[in-house]
Amino acid sequence: MRLFLVTSLTMVAFAANSILNRFALADHLIGPAGFGVLRLLSGAVMLALLVAIGERKPVALTEVSPFSVLGLSAYVLGFAYAYITLPAGIGALILFGVVQVTMFAGALILGERPGRFRWIGAGVAFAGLIYLLAPSVAAPDPLGAALMALAGVGWGYYSIYGRTVTRPLHATAANFLFATPVAALVWAIFPDPVVPGVPGAGLAILSGAVTSGLGYALWYSVLPKLDTSLAAIAQVTVPVIAAVGGILFLSEAMTLNFAISSVLVLGGIALSIRRG
């Protein structure tokens, strides 16, 4: 029961990132670059504190690479800029769909030989994304969708990299730290039109320290206890939770287009984790 509750809490935290980001930007409480910088910095501080408290040592920087930092930066910044226009649920669906396709492509490049269900699942998920993004009255904003797709590629790469690290909390804290100046550089080159206020900064810090920092710490604590398929299924719930949160807290509408796309994308991800 405890494992189920902690896993559920972690998925809610991940989904909350979409809701917090969208809420802050939709109400013009902060700009996307500012949100990204504060999310990364507060996440780095929280993760470093967790390492210091749990292991009584500073964060090790040995497992950081320029590509892991760029992957995380692309995820956080693409995510933030996309939520200027995208609803929370649609954004999360695009993100997780592209992550799935990116990780599938990465597996092929690395020489893995996916089974037939992985091929079918990736194809169904990709078809769901195509259906969602096809030109229509209900299609999401093209630029927002492209930015979230960039975030998905960044997170997909970062997830592939994450499989190789031996100390995930150390690696994540260090990557958050080094990605912060990357986001700050983007903020300096493309200044936000909105000056961050206390509410906007508070939402960004909440996203970084709590739903990202503590969320990742919880995830890494339960991940070794979950089967691979169970861990993948758990993450499939994130777009659903984000969509429900968007309806409840942001008054977003549930469209037929989004519902059909959700069935295809999430069904494809579920298929891809089957054996065979």
pLDDT exceeds cutoff 90 at 128: no
Question: pLDDT grade, residue 186 (50/70/90)?
Answer: very high
- The kind and range of the H/E element at 195 are none
Closest alpha carbon to 176 in 147, 198, 205, 149: 205
Distances from the Cα of 261 to the Cα of 24, 89, 136, 137, angstroms: 26, 11, 13, 15
* DSSP letter assigned to residue 183: H
* Cβ proximity of 32 and 83 under 8 Å: yes
Mean pLDDT, residues 266-275: 72
Rg of the chain, C-alpha, whole Å: 18
Question: pLDDT grade, residue 276 (50/70/90)?
Answer: low
- Which residue bears the tokens 């970062």? 158
Q: Which amino acid is at 191?
A: P
pLDDT exceeds cutoff 80 at 85: yes
Instruction: Round to whole Å and give the CA distance between 184 and 202.
Output: 18
Q: Which amino acid is at 126?
A: F
Mean pLDDT, residues 199-218: 95
Mean pLDDT, residues 6-16: 90
* Cβ proximity of 215 and 18 under 8 Å: no
Question: pLDDT grade, residue 5 (50/70/90)?
Answer: confident
Instruction: Round to whole Å and give the CA distance between 122 and 129.
Output: 11
The per-residue pLDDT for 273 is 63
Q: Which amino acid is at 181?
A: P
15: CB partners within 8 A, 6+ apart: 92, 237, 238, 239, 241, 242, 245
Three-state DSSP class for residue 144: helix
pLDDT exceeds cutoff 60 at 115: yes
Question: pLDDT grade, residue 49 (50/70/90)?
Answer: very high
Torsion of CA 19, 148, 182, 176, to 10 degrees: 50
Distances from the Cα of 257 to the Cα of 40, 140, 152, 261, 273, angstroms: 33, 10, 21, 6, 25
Mean pLDDT comparison of 54-63, 101-110, 123-132, 193-202, highest-scoring range: 193-202
Which of the pair, 8 or 33, is modelled with greater confidence? 33
Question: pLDDT grade, residue 160 (50/70/90)?
Answer: confident
